[in-house]
Amino acid sequence: MIIYPAIDIKDRQCVRLVRGDFDTAHRVAEDPLETAISFREAGASWIHMVDLDGAKDGQKRNADVFLDVAKNSGLKVELGGGIRDMATLEAYFSGGISRCILGSAALKDPAFVQQAVKAYGHRIAVGIDAINGMVATEGWLDVSDVPYLELAKRMEAIGVQTLIFTDISKDGTLSGPNLEQLKALRETVSCEVVASGGMQGIDDVAACKALALDGAICGKSLYSGTVSLADAIREAAEPVDAMDLDAYFEKSVLIPAIVQEAATGEVLMLAYMNRTSLKRTLETGTTWFWSRSRNAYWNKGETSGHYQKVVSIAGDCDFDTLLLTVEQTGAACHTGAHSCFFRTLKEATQ
């Protein structure tokens, strides 16, 4: 799980808000670049930045601050706030921003989100901010009648790979993230899920990791000293170095995984993996997949005892299919057949 230290910018200054209320803005650091560099020195690889002025008025503000951090901090920058058109995306990406977050546009202009995803793939994330489970937009000033899970499903359907979820009532309060809503989101979509809002200490980091979330944003907790960034990064670290997976999930959040028996070369089955199921497979040494019908993770053999011990994992030349060789215990198919591919459509002829 990735820890994203956060810097919010208002009037070119580093600030934090409480529950999204602009009247509560208070300065938490002197210089954005120096603060970002301190995050990198603590072990961070990413930084989460928000243009609060841009979020409020729907315009690109403080751009030079963000581009300076992207160019000179040594961190990957994910940026949200006021991004409403392709020209703004192009300006940020060409300036070195690694990922852009679309917020209000997800609800009000889904066609733009779809266009952005088609053009930039995994570099587009959607921020879903909610009050009492309902999506809020325009810098959290407007509350809609759309449930956050409904918007999440809409975004998954148009190809969004990363969702950043904030329970606004928790944001800036150090009261812990909304684990119940995050769990529901994790179980509803196959997108990567990043927690935001309320992170207080190491226990919260551990709780997010236990939910198999892909990231957690830490802001006020770092500035208040309730958790150190280095400790949070260590707690969130995966037991296995799961490699840089961006290339494999560039085209889709789900990719097919062909399972082949190591001893015989027989193809046993085909299932689908997202980043989290691939990471779990790497960590546990047994196969994990994402069920498209049940919207849930499943460990092959968990109910039947017919586990698959991973021997090797390879990616194809186009970075969109995985080949797993395994030691198969028992039958691979739920019908009881050793392989799922037992229906012959055509025999080879001499």
Marked catalytic residue, from 53, 129, 171, 204: 129
H or E element in which residue 32 lies: helix 32-41
H or E element in which residue 259 lies: strand 255-261
Marked catalytic residue, from 8, 51, 53, 214: 8
Q: In 3-state terms, what secondary structure has residue 203?
A: helix
**DSSP one-letter code for 248:** G
CA distance 22 to 140: 10
First-to-last C-alpha distance (Å) of the chain: 54
Strand partners, 261: 326
Q: Is the dihedral of CA 92, 220, 198, 200 positive or negative?
A: positive
Active site includes 8?
Answer: yes
Backbone angles phi, psi at 330, to 5 degrees: 70, -155
**DSSP one-letter code for 286:** B
CA distance 115 to 305: 44
Amino acid letter, residue 172: G
Please give the positions annotated as active site. Answer: 8, 129
